[in-house]
Structures are given as C-alpha cells and as structure tokens.
Structure 1
Amino acid sequence: MNIDFLELAEASPNPYVLMNRELRLVWMNRAYCAVTMRAREDIIDRKMFDAFPADPDSESFRQLRESLDHVLETGEPDEIALIRYDIARPDGGMESRYWSATHTPLHGPDGKPDYILQHTVDVTELQELRRLRDEVGVMRRAGAIQERNRNLERESQRLLEFFQQAPGFVAVLGGPTHVFQMANASYLRLVGREDIVGKTVEDALPEVVAQGFIATLDRVYESGQAYIGRREPVLLDGDHDPAHSRRVLNFIFQPISDGDGTVTGIIVQGYDVTEEVEYEGRQELLIQELNHRVKNTLAVVQSIAQQTFRNVPDSASAMATFKARLHALGAAHGLLTESSWSPASVREILDLTVAASFGPLDGRVLLDGPHFLLNPEVALALTMIVHELTTNAIKYGALSDDAGRVQVGWSVNAGDDCDVLSLTWRERGGPPVASAPREGFGTRLIRTGITSKRGTKVDLRFEPEGVVCALEVMLESGANHEPNAESPISSPIMPG
C-alpha cells in the first residue's frame, strides 16, 4: 500500500509546522494556518519570530526560544505544557492566546537535527476555564493535554518510520528548483549517496540533468500534472560500480499542492525493476535460441527423411505429406516463440494452421468462438490435429471444390474441478462422403486427441454431408480468457 504521508499530514486536523535549523518556516499544514489566522504565503520561508513577533524580554519569547534551542542542542524532543503567546488578528490587533506545544527533531545524515516539527494546540479556552475552576481541575486538564501531545508525538514518529521503511524509493522535493526535503533509505541506496537533503536535484544528482529528468520535473511543477515513467533507464553515478550504474525504473512524479491548488513540491515514488527487465531479456534470448534449435532440428529431420526415402519407389506423395506436417509443427513453434512460450489463442492457432496450408480462402472457412488461451502443450497438439483436418478437407472433403465450406466453432465451460474446451470442425457443401477412408497416420493422430492431464474425447464422423470432428478437452480450472477481449465474434480466415 502506497501512502502519501505529506498529503496525510496536510489533511490532519492537528496543526503542524516544520522549521529548519535557522527556525525558518519551510512547511505548515492547513490546520496550522487556520489556528494562527495566517495565509501560507505570508509566513512560508520566514523565521518563526519574524512571522510571529514577541518582545525578546517577555516570558513568551523566553519559553519558546529555550524549547527550540534545547531541541537543536540536544537532538531530543521538548514540550511546553502551557505558554501564552499573543498573535495578530487579521484586522491588525493582537489577541491573547494560550498554547501547548511539542517540538520533535528530524535528524539529518550527520545525526544532528536538520528540522524541527512543531505540533501546537490552542488551549486558550482551557486557560479561560482555569480562572473558573480550582487547582485540581486545572492540573487534571493539563495532564490530559500533555498525554495528548505525547500521543501526537508518537503518531508523528510512526509516520516518519513508515516513510523510511517504505519498500519503494520515496523522496520529497520542494519549490521550483526541486530541493530534496526528505528521502527514504531505499532512495538513498538507489542514487548511491547520503548527503542529498537540502540540495537541489541538479546539485545532488548532476548526471540526471542531461538525461532529461530535470526538464520533466519542471513540467510537472508548472503544469500540476503527474508524470508516470514506465521502465525508464537512468544512469546514476553515486557509489555504484559501473556494472550497477544503469538502472531501469517504474516511478511517478506526483505534484504536491497547497490549499489553493498551488504546486509547492513533488513527491518522487517508484520501484527499481532492473533485475526484472534483465531476467526478461535473458528469457527472450533463451526462447529465441530454443526456436533456432527447433528449426534446425526440423530441417535435419526433413533432410534425413529426404535422404532415406530418395530411392524408395512411389514415396513422393508420402514425403510431401511428411514435409507438410513438419511445416505445421514449425509454424506452431513460431507462434509460441512470438508469445515467449506463453499461452496461445485458439483463434490464432486456427488462423495460422489453415492459412499456412491453403492461403486466402475468403468465406470458405468460418471461425466462431470466444477468445481463449491454451498452454503450449495443448496448442501444439491442436495445431497438428487442425493440420490433418484441413489437409483431408483440401484433398477429399469440403475444400476440394469451389462449393464446400468449413465451420469451426468452439466454446469453454467451467466445470466443478476443470474447464472444458469443446471444438467442432464441420464440413458441408463438398463432395458426398461415401464411407470412412482407410485409417492412416493422420486419422490415428486425430483420434488420439489433445494431450491433457485430465483427458480428452474425440468424435470423428464421416457423415454423407461432410466430415464432422468434435473435440472435448478437459483443462485445468481457471479459463485463460484473453485480457480485454471482445465478445465472441465470427470471421472468415484471412491470409497471414
């Protein structure tokens, strides 16, 4: 789960303000602006005591200054249970206000506080009630406030821990020059640097300027539109050795907006997918090598067959049939190679096998069925069966004249423990079928059916109107419907 912690803090009903070591206000949430009656643009980048002036000799000034100095000097949190600190009203007058404040240090790479997160609670109403209640009641309320502050401090610490421990890399950039305000451990490991907070991207990562990333950040900042990078290569210097300086990343540049929609910064979040891309490249290379070897093997088998039957009388017809079967098997391997030996579509198998044997037969063969994927083993078996059916149809059946037609329909039904693929090859309009021919290798191959762990059924009938072959294959549960596929359609086979 990706959590936008900056947006979470912005939406919090509790007032938060972040100041640097110079006590300059670098960020505050909407609740803080509301409780102090100030607009963000009026106080951002101003020092605390300039934005909210107080008499340097007053108790208010002393309490706040000592608490902030304590955090900077010791690196430890500090609390002010109750402080009177008057603030200006929008009409220019001053208003007496009472506060309870918690100051939490945010440490930099050197272990020293770089920022102070102030959580402040307006307790003016409680102070007014104090005048009306006895001392016991006041102490009880003060104790409750301090407990609340402790809980809020723990909440802030948990948010920072979530940020640091996020599995993906995350960084927060501020302002139009893209200054690193925060970066988690994964981001620092990615860029191979530790000292980037407080620097601009251009200064911290100079090698990315020429790669176009600064220009992309500028467009996001100016337009307010997020940029999503998918498998984008980046070269990072850092402390990487040359073999690991090139990374491939999925990431997003997400603009950060204040209450009025003005972009104030950018969140960079993403994942390093270098190993995944390299694995896919190796896998593709291996598949291409497999395809090359299969083709070479088929060529060797064909050559052996030609040499073996060269002097055998009347073997030309058998040799032609053998070559056609090798060609169909090679085409099926090519189809599976194109999809990296992932499941292949029933429609693609039929298109490839029939068109490879007969070329364009507009309107002669009609396909009707849903988009469905078969695993490579089943796909190869179906290719060989369809090849035998089409070969018989062109020699003796519906495709042996100009009038015959072939209809191929299939459907997939989910069973209790498996899916059932039903496919029917039906020939009509060709020469009448007198009787079943002598059973040869092709017929036996068809009747053997499709290899499946759960079994297959074949019903091959030589009806007078034409051959009908009905296949029923039991597949593993979870039908492999193609993603974003349209509803079942009917279309004639086209060439190629």
Structure 2
Amino acid sequence: MEQLLLLFLTGSPDLCPVPPAVVMLTLDLLAVFNTQPGATLLLSPDWVIIGASDDYLAATLTQRDTLVGQFIFDAFPDNPATPEANAVANVRASLHQVLATKQPHEMAPQHYDVPDHTQPGRFVERHWQPRHTPVLDAQGQVQCIIQSVQDITTRRQAERQLRESMAAEQLAHAVAAQQRQRFLEVLTQMPAYIAVYQGPDHIYQFVNPAYQSLFPHRSFLGKPFREGTPEAVELGVVALFDQVYQTGEPVYLREMEGWFDFHSTGQPVQVFLNISLHPLRDVQGRIDGVLDFTYDVSEQVRTRQQVEQLNQELETRVQQRTAQLQEQQGLLRQILRTVP
C-alpha cells in the first residue's frame, strides 16, 4: 500500500520520502473514497487498482487487500463462457479513450461477469453501467482514473426474463394458432354442421361448408349468433351458449325441434337437431369461445315417429281384435249354456 501511495503521489517510489502529514492526508482521503456511497474503483494511469469503495467490493464479491495492487484485467478477466460479451476489450477501449481525450466516458451497459472466489474457475453473472472519469494534475495530465459502475444485473435479468417470457408466449400463441388452423381444417371436412364462436357475444369466427350449405343466402362471419341465426334465439339456445361460456361445461341437446327458414323463402321448415356445445380456451386456459357441433336427425326422428305410430296402430288393432274375439267367445259360451 505504501509503495502504491508513493507512486500515486510522486510518480516514483525512489524520489524523496513523502512527508508523513501528506501520507496521512492521503490515507484519510483514501478512507473517504473507500466508504463513499456507490461502487467506484480508483485506477492508476496504467490501470493498476489503487482503491475500491466498500460498495464496489460488495458488488464484485472481492476483498480490498487482495484487489488493491492488481492490474484491473488480472483481477477481472473475461468469462470464457461468455466470449460474445467482449467485456475486457470494451473496458480497455474506454480507458484508452479517457487517457487520450482526458474526458469522461460513459459506456453502454456491459455484461461483465466477476470471478466467484468461493468456486475457482466459476463466474457470477453481472451487468454494469460503467463510467470512467479522469483526475488531472496541475499540468493537465491524467493522475488517476475513477471507474464508477452501477450494478444493473437485476434489471438486466428481469428484462431477459421478460423477453424470454414474451418469446415463450408468442411461441405458444403461434403454436396454438397453428393447432387451431389444423383443427379448423379438420372441421371443414366433417359432415356435421360446425361453427366456432368467439367472445361473450358469440361472434361467428368459423363455419364449415356443411353449416353454410344449410343457409346458402346468409353470411355469418363477424356476426353475433343471435343475428346470424335468429330462429335459434326463440328456442332459448343463446342462454345455453352463455352457460357454456361462463361455466366451461359442455351442453348436449338431443332431438331439439326447431323451425328454420334455410333458404330465406319465408317458409320455415321443421327439423330435429342434436346439438353439442363445447368451451374453447386460449393458451392461458381462459374460455374465449364456443364450439358448436350440430347434426340433423330429422329423418331418424320422423322414421322413429312413423314406426311408433305404426306400432300404436297395430297395438290398437290388436286390442280391437282381442276385444272382438272375447266378445265372440262370450256369445259362444252363452249359446252353449242354452243347449240341453
């Protein structure tokens, strides 16, 4: 330390001894430097470390007695794991600029990891906002350089995490969009009448060709369900859409009877429909739409009704025939009783 002070004060340790009072004053100033707020490093013009503030030591995980007297880039070498950071080269260029111009230089944020002295060969991630300020003597020559650094590691890590999170979210959205597109392509080929509705107002987002063929004179996309298919509103189906959207539970309707003006002729046609309503969710798992699968079961219902009607007619005829037979048998018994 004494040799460094002599170099710092006189430029040579071989010159006349520095008066004790001057040494004490220098030591006092160095003590003030060491305890001042902020992370600062005091360098000689040839970049040997003369002093380091307490905050600097804490930020760089170093001790003053091992740091002072070292060449700065011996104390803080590049991290081999992050060669792209070019930390030593960038700081060296800044120090050269300060020596050449004798003007302060504020660097761009630097990724400059510090050695982990508890695990030799390992480094601890650090990001800094450095500034180099020359201290000039009476002749205008650089006497020393003050390196002031702001530890922005937490901010940089938060920014990186935010970028990674946003990238992951964008990827998830892209994957979800791709999956949804494939899903819609499959729905396009299915024989059922299929529609996808978006949001709480159930805006038509997709109808497959089969659905559109039911209503050849109507346009659906971008319209609310109640506007695109007003006949269904009278059946109370909108309330079921709301139920699915709000609860996330699917709803199934079997053989729902309805009258629809499919060809916009003013003459509604009776149909029977099986309807399945399912919630759709976004990448965060929030419900953002409803999927509608509808099957026309009118033919099956009418066939069943006809069979039921035939069965009823047959049952009626059987009952009538049975009654006639019972009546005839009763008459026959009466006749037989009268025969001696």
Do these two structures clear the TM 0.5 threshold for a shared fold by scoring above it?
no
TM-score range, shorter chain: 0.3 to 0.5
Structure of greater relative contact order (alpha carbons < 8 Å, 6+ residues apart)? 2
TM value normalised by structure 2: 0.44
Q: Indicate the structure (1 or 2) with the bigger Cα radius of gyration.
A: 2
TM value normalised by structure 1: 0.31
